[in-house]
Amino acid sequence: MKHRFGNRFVLVAAVVALTSLALAAASSARTDGGGVSGRITADGSSTVGPYVTAGAERFQRANRGAQVTVGISGTGGGFERFCKGETDMSNASRPIKQTEAAICRTNGVTYVPFLVANDGISIVVNKDNTWANCLTTAELKKIWDTGSKVDNWQDVRQGFPNVKLSLFGPGTDSGTFDFFTEVINGKSKRSRSDYAATENDDVAVRGVAGERGGLAYFGLSYYEENKNTLKLLGVDSGGGCTLPSIKTVQAYSYKPLSRPLFVYVKRDAFKRPVVQAFVRYMIQNERAIAKTAKFVSLTDRQLRKSKYQYNQAIRFAKR
């Protein structure tokens, strides 16, 4: 009986160690043929995230050795990591702020901003909401401004029924939040705080779909993904009621909630073939990706600009 269990101990430990090593080896050696290989890290907006993810999926299928990760820390969070040099690409649903750009400068991070899609922030309500079809920007401000006590539809407009208002929206790290509050309430981050705030827009979708008096705002693609459970409202900023659609968003006639979506790419990252290939892939397949991910694609003019920027960036990187 000598050392019977002592030996087993060692045996088990050896098996565990070997298995771990084997797994590690197996997973890192996945650069089997076909296309470029390498790692790309992207992080940022939860609105732009699904777009980049859709592109990454297709790209990785064509290039088995490529490894793309896409985080959704929010536009602000994405820039923070980006300007520290932690990520290669930063997804943003608003342009980079002065303060953020300064940090990038201090850390020596130079970048190229690419337009990837257009978006119209959509106001959605529950399917059983029969009374509202359009809200003015003034009414939106009344609902969402800081200190607002509006918690019933009848306080929004005369004639609306007595139904409790349930608000859902993006959290404060979201570019969508920054943009919406700036154009509707007048100042970025200025907003009432007693609503269900979440980076995860699906929570908002589920919330509005479940509450008769629900109201939420998020990117158009989330509405498109959930068309059959939500109702879209038009927005009137003085020139009549406009519903967001590919046409109105591209023409920016859906005011003031139309906006471009960006991906900022580090200039240093452009030196790597896998990044070049990925950006080129995204630009070339822009229409298809937008269609899959249910985004509003770029106009011809915007697409031309992206191609131009890409060529410039490549030339710069080759120096």
Nearer to other proteins, 85 or 314 (CB): 85
| C-beta closer to other proteins: residue 116 or 313 | 116
Type of residue found at 74: G
Q: Which of residues 266-295 bind other proteins (CB under 8 A)?
A: 292-293
By CB neighbour count within 10 A (0-12 exposed, 13-18 middle, 19+ buried), where does 264 fall? buried
Q: What's the rounded Cα separation, in Å, for the pair 109 and 220?
A: 31
Binding mask 156-185 for other proteins (x = CB under 8 A): ----------x----xxx-------x----
Find the shortest distance in angstroms from Cβ 155 to other proteins. 18
Contacting residues for 153 by C-beta, under 8 A, at least 6 apart: 131, 132, 160, 161, 162, 163, 164, 165, 213
**Per CB under 8 A, does 101 bind other proteins?**
no
Listed ranges 5-13, 109-117, 254-262, 311-319: which one lies at the site for other proteins (CB under 8 A): 5-13
CB of residue 94 vs other proteins: minimum separation in angstroms?
15
Kindly give, in sequence order, each residue whose CB lies less than 8 Å from that of residue 228, ignoring residues fewer than 6 positions away: none
Residues 107-166 contacting other proteins, CB under 8 A: 146, 166
Name which of 103 and 314 has its Cβ closer to other proteins: 103
Per CB under 8 A, the list member of 9, 131, 308, 316 interacting with other proteins is 9
* Long-range contacts of 221-229, Cβ-Cβ distance < 8 Å, separation of 24 or more: 221/47, 221/50, 221/51, 221/119, 221/293, 221/294, 221/295, 222/122, 223/122, 223/124, 224/294, 225/294, 229/127, 229/205
Which is it for strands 258-266 and 196-198: parallel, antiparallel or unpaired? unpaired
Closer residue to other proteins, CB minimum distance, 78 or 244: 78
Give the nearest distance from C-beta 47 to other proteins in angstroms. 13
Asked if 227 interacts with other proteins (CB under 8 A), we say no
Residues 183 and 93 sit within 8 Å (Cβ to Cβ) = no
Residues 30-89 that bind other proteins (CB under 8 A): 30, 39, 41, 43, 49-50, 53-54, 56-57, 60, 67-74, 76-78, 80-81, 86
* DSSP character at residue 128: T
Q: Which of 123, 205, 263, 269 binds other proteins (CB under 8 A)?
A: 205
Neighbours of 133 (CB within 10 A): 13
Which residue type sits at 134?
A: C
Task: Give me the least distance between CB of 157 and other proteins, in Å please.
Answer: 23
Restricting to residues 239-258, name those near other proteins by CB under 8 A: none
What's the closest the beta carbon of residue 1 comes to other proteins, in angstroms?
A: 8
Nearest residue (CB) to other proteins, 27 versus 158: 27
Kindly state whether residue 186 participates in binding other proteins, applying the rule CB under 8 A.
Answer: no
- Residue of 8, 105, 267, 315 that binds other proteins (CB under 8 A): 8
In sequence order, the 6+-apart residues with CB closer than 8 A to the CB of 37 are: 31, 63, 64, 65, 66, 67, 274
